[in-house]
Amino acid sequence: MITLLDKELCVKVIFSHGKESGPWGTKIRFLANIAEEMGCQIQSIDYSDTLDPEKRVERLMQAIPKDDPEVLLVGSSMGGYVSLVTALQHKVRGVFLLAPAVAMPGYKVQSYPVTCPVTCVHGWQDEIIPAENILNFAKQLNITLHLIPGDHRLNDSLKAVGVLFKQFLFERLTDQT
């Protein structure tokens, strides 16, 4: 029998929005409801005052308690980059990416050898980050990749994204390692 982690552990899910979004956009609200239903604490960082991805990384690093590995990061677009770079510097339980802005010109970090489980959901019709870039990224990191119908925002595929997020959470919450 599989049981979720003891509620007292209070796994926290921290959301990082994209460049032109906000801390409680459509996707984050939708996924935050799923996380809450599964017994997680949620937090969404507001980065709307800066477009600098490295300043966003600093802000996320400050939001995570230094000795708390019971954190899951969720990042969309630039927030995906922010979550990945943070996972390089802080032990987290896992990272869930939505159309992540990886291998982008001008971004400081171009390699992401994270050691935690990573799941990526990306739209085949993404007009900002081509699916081919994500295929290469996923292959290099050996991460779980789901390519689904949709553009960069993935708003038309929220139901599919929700199913994949529930699966990710279940796997991360039942993993006792």
Q: Each residue of 66-105: pLDDT tens digit?
A: 777 799 999 999 999 999 999 999 999 999 999 999 988 8
Structural domains in the chain (count): 1
Burial of 62 (C-beta count, 10 Å sphere; 0-12/13-18/19+): exposed
CA pair distance 62, 57, nearest whole angstrom: 9
Report the pLDDT value the prediction gives residue 68, as an integer from 0 to 100: 79
CA pair distance 93, 49, nearest whole angstrom: 28
Assign 65 to helix, strand or coil: coil
CATH number at residue 43: 3.40.50.1820
CA pair distance 5, 41, nearest whole angstrom: 13
Q: Is the pLDDT of residue 12 over 90?
A: yes
96 within domain boundaries: yes
CA pair distance 126, 149, nearest whole angstrom: 9
Alpha carbon dihedral 132, 166, 64, 16, in 10-degree steps, equals: 50
pTM of the full structure:
0.93
1 within domain boundaries: no
What's the token pair of residue 29? Answer: 């609200």
pLDDT band at 106 (very low <50, low <70, confident <90, very high): confident
CB 122 within 8 A of CB 143: no
Q: Could you tell me which of 100, 83, 87 has the C-alpha nearest to residue 44?
A: 83
User: How many of the other CB atoms lie within 10 Å of CB of 41?
Assistant: 13
Q: Is the pLDDT of residue 21 over 60?
A: yes
Residue-wise pLDDT for 135-159, tens only, equals: 999 999 999 999 999 999 999 999 9
Instruction: Give the H/E segment covering residue 73.
Output: strand 71-76
What's the token pair of residue 57? Answer: 């990384």
Domain hosting residue 133, numbered range:
10-174
2 within domain boundaries: no
Report the pLDDT value the prediction gives residue 9, as an integer from 0 to 100: 54
Burial of 27 (C-beta count, 10 Å sphere; 0-12/13-18/19+): buried
3 within domain boundaries: no
21 within domain boundaries: yes
